[in-house]
Structure 1
């Protein structure tokens, strides 16, 4: 009988390139560079959206727009990009882009194919849980974090602490939380 837990070590750093090692099309690189060059935030956002429109599966583009929204504290927009990151990585790994359908067998297969990309996917999943917490949506944050912890039993990605915090926050009455 097959174990419910994946057998791959999520800290295995051997062999695979990282997303930022991949070549970026020159026109996409130009958009990213212009967005990074100190233009007004609205212009930078438009440039990043254009890059994403032209290269929707380019992980460098996805990370750039994720960071843009994250550092602007636009967590709702960042959460949407985290979902795009999982979808793009899922297509490359031939696993579900929807984390709700992810299984231990998917993790094993994806880890054998491209460990760095699998970690990217799982970090995006952790990020989604964290962003839901930042948005005050603790109940919703629990499901992606539970999935991460179920698939990362050794807690290599570090979701267990976030899951514990989300559960504690739900279990703690509002008055007690503000008294701390």
Structure 2
């Protein structure tokens, strides 16, 4: 799929859904994202390209996802968490949810539909947030986020049970 193939007739409410697929991304930002990917081995150069992409498309989901992946795969988890937090706020606003994830309820959206791109982006972002909190040793906050995922997605399409299993095994020896 090419960016120009994205249906833009869906209206403002689906802007983020389009943005996740790269819609609305200025060409300059797209070029910078490609250059960042090509320069991945050179962290300073790749990060500079990401910053340039952000200057062309501030707060665009594709740019935020680029930053998140860069920081995550470079092991810069605290910075990845900062981006995940920005994505949570963005996804909450685009979905008309509370920006406080603890206040979002299963009645706020259809979370269990694969076609509901915006709510699923929210769930994936919350899952990333929970995972990063766990990796950073913030176990209780991670557990709260995982429990919220299970509340919003009781059929576990997002895979929160895997994270819960890992959380449940923290501190348990193999002999237990």
TM-score range, shorter chain: 0.7 to 0.9
Quote how far apart the aligned CAs of 1:58 are. 1.1
5+ residue gaps, structure 2, are 1-16
**What aligned pairs does 1:127-166 form with structure 2 within 5 A after superposition?**
127-166=128-167
Matches of 1:86 and 1:165 in 2, distance apart? 23
2:31 corresponds to: 30
Report the CA distance shift for 1:97/1:49 in structure 2 as closer, same or farther (over 3 A).
farther
1:93-131 Cα distance to aligned partner (Å, 9 max, x none)? 2112331221122123x789x711211110110111111
Q: Which residues of 2 match residues 48-59 of structure 1 at below 5 A?
A: 48-59=50-61
Tell me which of 36, 42, 45 is aligned to 2:44: 42
- Structure 2 distance, partners of 1:47, 1:21, is 17
The answer to whether the 8 A contact 1:17-1:116 is kept is: no
CA distance in 2 between counterparts of 1:59 and 1:153 reads 26
Pairwise CA distance, 1:21: 4.6
- TM-score, normalised relative to structure 2: 0.77
Distance 2:112 2:159 in 1: 17
Instruction: Say whether residues 1:116 and 2:117 are aligned partners.
Output: yes
Q: TM-score, normalised by structure 1?
A: 0.76
> Does the 8 Å CA contact 1:18/1:117 hold for their aligned counterparts?
no
| Whole-Å separation in 1 of the counterparts to 2:98 and 2:31 | 31
Give secondary structure in 1 for the equivalent of 2:170: helix
- SS of aligned partner of 2:65: helix
Could you tell me whether the CA contact under 8 Å between 1:18 and 1:116 is conserved in 2? Answer: no
- Return the alpha-carbon distance in structure 2 between the equivalents of residues 85 and 158 of structure 1: 19
In structure 2, the partner of 1:71 is: 73
Task: Provide, for residues 49-104 of structure 1, a one-character-per-residue CA deviation record: whole Å limited to 9, x for no partner.
Answer: 34235433311111111110111011111111111111112222211233122112
